Structure 1
Amino acid sequence: MTANQCDIGLIGLAVMGENLVLNMESKGFSVAVFNRTTEVTDKFAAGRGKGKNIQPTRTMEEFVGALKRPRKTMIMVKAGAPVDAVIGQLAPLLEEGDVIIDGGNSLFTDTQRRCKDLEGRGIHFVGCGVSGGEEGALKGPSLMPGGSRESWEMIAPIFRKIAAQVDGEPCCRYMGSDGAGHYVKMVHNG
C-alpha cells in the first residue's frame, strides 16, 4: 500500500483497538495502525491483521503519511493523560480539516477542552462512546459520536457501516457538539 491511501487510521492496539481495525477492514475500509510499542504493531500485523488491507506503521509520521486527506484518526488508548499524550504527538502532524476521534471512555469535560484546543488549529475533534465490549468492537458496536456537525459528516460513512445494525439501521447517531458523545457514554456506563 502506498502513502496517502488508507481511509482511516487507528492508534492503540489493545483488544478494543484491534477489533475495531478488523471490523473496519471487514467492511471494506483500508486502515493504518500505530501503537507506541512497535512489537505490538508487528505482532498484530503478523497475526490477526495478516493478509488484510491494514497498513502497520512504526512512527507517528509514517502513520499520518499513510492516510487519505482529510485524515481521519481514531485513538483507542486509556482515558486521561494517555489521550492528551497521543494528541500532543499527533496534532502537530495534522492539517486544517483533519479529524481526531477519541473512542475511549474519556470524561466529557476533557473532550470539551480538547475540542476547544484543537478547534483553534483547525483540527476537528470527536469524542465517541463505543459500546458493546470486545465482541461489539469486532462485530458491530453502538457508537455515540459528539463533535462538530462537519466532523460527524466526515466520519459518518465509516461509522454507520461498522456499527451494529437493528432492523437495518445502524446503532450510530450524532449526539451533538463537543462532549455530547462522551456524556451519553458516561450515562450509559452509569
Structure 2
Amino acid sequence: MQMGMIGLGRMGGNMVKRLREHGHEIVGYDMNPDSGRDVASLEALVGALAAPRVVWVMVPAGKPTESTIAKLGELLEPGDIVVDGGNSKYTEDREHAATLAQRGIGFLDCGVSGGVWGEARGYALMIGGSDEDYERVRPIFEALKPEGDYGLVHAGPVGGGHFAKMVHNGIEYGMMQAFGEGFATMMRSEYVTDPAATMDSWREGSVVASWLLDLFDNATEHDPSLKGVPAVANESGEARWMVEAALELGVPTPATAAALWQRQTSRGGADDILRVVTALRAQFGGHVTKVDEIATH
C-alpha cells in the first residue's frame, strides 16, 4: 500500500521504517531538511501519491496538527483519507473530520502507544472513524501493530481512538505512580536492602509483571537508586483530559488524579502552596521550619 507520512521524528521516523520493512511504499515529509525526508513540501508529498491517497499526520498536537490538517484540506481530493496519529484531544477530531468531510475527504484518529521501541515491538493502535475508512487503511495498521492477535482496535467513531489513548495514558500515569511509591517506600526502609533488585524480581510470576517493570530494570541497571534521574515529570495533557472527561461522566478517578497532581507538583508549581501551609502551621501551632526563620505572632 502507498501512504504519505508527515512528521519523521522519533515516532514517525520509526513507523516509516517498520512500514517499509513490511513492503509498504511510504513517502515521507518533515520540515527538517535533515530528517531523511523524501519530499520538501506538503504539495510535493500530495503530488507524489496516487489517488485515492492516505496521508498520516504525526506531528505535535495543537497548532502544528491543526495547521497541517487545514493545509491538507486544501491540497487533497475527494476520496482521500487523513489519519491523525498524534496526541490530539478527542474533541478536536470531530472538528477536523467535519471540515474535511465538506471536501469529501475521510478522517481517522489513531491513538498510538509504543514509544521508541515500537519499530521492533510494534505499536498498540486505537482507531476512531468510519468502518469504510478503517478498512481502507487497515493494511497499514496491521503492519504497525505487534505480531499476534492484539494491539489493534477500531475503538469507535471519530474521536474514539484518541479517547481510548487518553484513557490508556491515564492508566499509565497511575501505574507509574504506584511503582514509584513502592520504590520510594522500600528505599526508606531498613528491611529491604536492594529495592531495585526487588522490583526487578517481579518481572516474572508476579501479578504486577509488566513492560513498565522491564523498562524499570533498564533504568536501574547502572543507577539502582535512580539518584541520577531528575525528580521532575512533565505531563503531556492526556491524564488531565481524562480526569476532566471522567468528571463530566460522573466517574471517580482518584488514582489518575493523584498521579496527575504529583507530576504537576514535581514541576515546582506547589512551592507557593507549601509555603502557605508552612506559614499557617507556624502561625497557629508554632510549627517553625528553619529554612528561613518564620515569625510567629
Which of 4, 21, 25 pairs up with 2:16?
21
Name 1:74's counterpart in structure 2: 56
Which of 141, 144, 147 pairs up with 2:123?
141
2:117 and 2:79 mapped to 1: Cα distance? 32
TM alignment of 1:55-74, pairs within 5 A: 56-74=38-56
Deviates more, 1:18-27 or 1:63-72: 63-72
Q: Say whether the 8 Å CA contact 1:8–1:68 is kept in structure 2.
A: no
Cα distance change on mapping 1:138 and 1:93 into 2, 3 Å: farther
2:202 is aligned with 1:189: no
2:107 is aligned with 1:113: no
2:14 is aligned with 1:40: no
Which of 69, 73, 84 pairs up with 2:66?
84
2:77 is aligned with 1:95: yes
Q: Say whether the 8 Å CA contact 1:160–1:171 is kept in structure 2.
A: no
Percent identity between the aligned chains? 40
- The DSSP-based 3-state class of the residue aligned with 2:98 is helix
Name 2:137's counterpart in structure 1: 155
Give 1:161 deviation, angstroms: 2.1
1:83 and 1:105 mapped to 2: Cα distance? 9
| Amino acid of the structure 1 residue aligned with 2:34 | V
Q: Say whether the 8 Å CA contact 1:142–1:172 is kept in structure 2.
A: yes
1:176 and 1:157 mapped to 2: Cα distance? 18
In angstroms, what is the RMSD of aligned CA positions?
1.4
1:179 and 1:137 mapped to 2: Cα distance? 25
- The DSSP-based 3-state class of the residue aligned with 1:126 is strand
More strand as a share of residues: 1
Q: Runs of 5+ in structure 2 lacking a partner?
A: 171-297
Instruction: State the structure with more CA Rg.
Output: 2
Q: Say whether the 8 Å CA contact 1:20–1:138 is kept in structure 2.
A: no
Q: Say whether the 8 Å CA contact 2:18–2:143 is kept in structure 1.
A: no
| Amino acid of the structure 1 residue aligned with 2:12 | G
Q: Say whether the 8 Å CA contact 1:22–1:138 is kept in structure 2.
A: no
Give 1:129 deviation, angstroms: 0.2
Give 1:14 deviation, angstroms: 1.0
Give 1:134 deviation, angstroms: 1.3
- The DSSP-based 3-state class of the residue aligned with 1:40 is coil
| Amino acid of the structure 1 residue aligned with 2:152 | C
1:122-157 residue CA offsets vs partner (Å, 9 max, x unmatched): 111111000111111454101111011111011011
Give 1:26 deviation, angstroms: 0.5
Q: Runs of 5+ in structure 1 lacking a partner?
A: 1-5, 46-55
| Amino acid of the structure 2 residue aligned with 1:36 | M
More helix as a share of residues: 2
* Greater relative CO (CA pairs within 8 A, separation 6+): 1
Give 1:187 deviation, angstroms: 0.2
Q: Say whether the 8 Å CA contact 1:161–1:170 is kept in structure 2.
A: no
Give 1:93 deviation, angstroms: 1.1
2:109 is aligned with 1:127: yes
| Amino acid of the structure 2 residue aligned with 1:8 | M
Cα distance change on mapping 1:110 and 1:15 into 2, 3 Å: same
- The DSSP-based 3-state class of the residue aligned with 2:14 is helix
Q: Say whether the 8 Å CA contact 1:13–1:40 is kept in structure 2.
A: no
2:107 and 2:84 mapped to 1: Cα distance? 8
1:21-58 residue CA offsets vs partner (Å, 9 max, x unmatched): 00110110010011123x233xx25xxxxxxxxxx001
Give 1:170 deviation, angstroms: 4.6
1:68-126 residue CA offsets vs partner (Å, 9 max, x unmatched): 22101101110011101111222211111101001011100011211111111111111
- What TM-score results when the alignment is normalised by the length of structure 2? 0.55
